[in-house]
Amino acid sequence: MVTEGVDIIDVGGESTRPGAVQIGDAEEIDRVAGVIELLVREFDVPISIDTSKSSVAREAVAAGVDFVNDISGLKFDSAMAWVAASSGAGLFLMHTRGRPERMQHDTSYADLLTEVETSLRSSADQALRAGVAKDKIALDPGIGFGKDLKGNLSLVNRLDRLAGLGYPILLGTSRKSFIGKVLQQDDPAARLNGTLATIALGVDRGAMLFRVHDVHPVREAALMAWAIKNAD
């Protein structure tokens, strides 16, 4: 990933895919601690910790992590905002509906875009009140987290509205099941072409950060889309 031009390496010790069961704080820390230590020692690349637990984030930041990536948008553990504020770490705040083990049980919304926008604004405001600097916050609409196929497509299509909140938008579409449903591709590793389409459209609609598996091709797609967007 470093050779292919990654800007941030995201480390997670607990699965957040739909249906995943939560693990304990100690086990999660044990899973990520050694990896973080190695990355800090071997590479000059910023690191984020993918966790919704403040205790895990605290240990990770102490070990040298630069960003906290909270899929709950501070809703699972309110102390997370304090950890980011007191440490100076950047904060990625995502929208989801419920914990992973139940988040796909209810994917119906009266107005998905408004709910996501309102929730992300609330998460950002909570972080600001805790003392996190505004320029340390980015927002993630949570593609695949408590949304159905139509909802995921609509969110990617309307990212420009979320960008209007005034924070960088992080988009995580890489290899996700909604791409597989559109392309009728069951193998996640074979969803690169679909992923690249979402990256290019994401750039066009204001996304600035992309959480991906295939660093080199996605980076090139993003750079090309950025060049076209800014040609005039």
Closest by CA position to 5, among listed 62, 56, 49, 43? 43
H/E stretch holding 68: strand 67-70
How many CB atoms sit inside 10 A of residue 179's CB?
25
Place of tokens 């070990």: 63
Residue numbers annotated as active site: 176, 211
The span from the CA of 155 to the CA of 160, in Å, is 9
Closest by CA position to 85, among listed 68, 64, 60, 99? 68
For 76-145, give the DSSP string. Answer: S-THHHHHHHHHT-EEEEE--SS-TTTGGG----SSHHHHHHHHHHHHHHHHHHHT--GGGEEEE--TTS
CA geometry: angle 86, 88, 89, nearest 5 deg? 115
The one-character DSSP state at 22 is: P
